[in-house]
Amino acid sequence: MTYTETMPVYVIDKPLGLTSHDVVARARRALATRRVGHTGTLDPLATGVLVVCAEESTKLVQFLTADSKDYLAFVALGAGSRTLDAEGPLEEAPQVPLPSRERLEEVLSGFVGEQLQVPPQFSAISVGGVRAYDVARRGGALELPARPVSLHELRLLAVAQNPGQAAALRFAPTPDGRWDLDAAGRAFTLPAALGEFPVLVLWARVGSGTYLRSLARDLGEALGTRAHLTGLVRTRVGRFGLGQAVSLEQLSASAGLSDLEALDLPRFEADPQLARALRDGKRPATDLEGRYLITHAGALVAVADALGGQWKVVRAWAQS
């Protein structure tokens, strides 16, 4: 098998209602291989970019899961839910006047930067070998410690009077890679709303491990009410945007992206001797610093860290 024949990386536009596991199962059938993995879970009620890797490209998963991500988030004010999203059941809160846009933006600015965030009970977080969602589905709750997360940007795009108005909005990417309102853009299918509540439409750029459902909960508390996520669209994972994504129906005919296109790392072209040494797990000398994508003759050799004057291989690829 030559390098160009290895299975590539695929960017899928995940539809509403499927789990990430469901998407992987369908990808296995479409690509006729069992070796398929995804690089970051999307909840069933979320849509948008889900990156999957097949065959040898599954070695990339560990590097792609840490990428930052962009979202369009729809936050309903005035009611919470145990799941923190539109799955429910609904837990209404006392009604409070809708804050002004200035007040909303002030509160949102307080969430930008490094934060400590408590994960949702309905999540795959494990405590003592027990999954939080397994306990939550039985009506219980685990003590989930707050974890450090990063919210790089958080912008208020619109304040909709109700979920129907929010669902009618259209969006498009901007030249700088963000998303904004655009009457000629794309509308997204949102989950069935739990009730008639005002909806904040946000664009967020966050670090790995950040839960937008938790952000919705915490935003409601900061505004003196309850809130839940009534819709979520992931528009970017690392260097993969929604414009590159294909539907599950298009997957079998998709060319995908090569390993070299997938990793957003500086490249270093190795000579034959260095390529051989790195594939053998040796630590040749270098005067560089940082993490690099090592290539030779158009093929991926390794992801390696240049530390203390030596190359240290993190993951190597066999010569094809």
Hey, which residues are catalytic here?
43
Amino acid identity, residue 15? Answer: P
Q: What angle do CA 159, 173, 198 make, to 5 degrees?
A: 15
- How many whole angstroms separate alpha carbon 262 and alpha carbon 59? 12
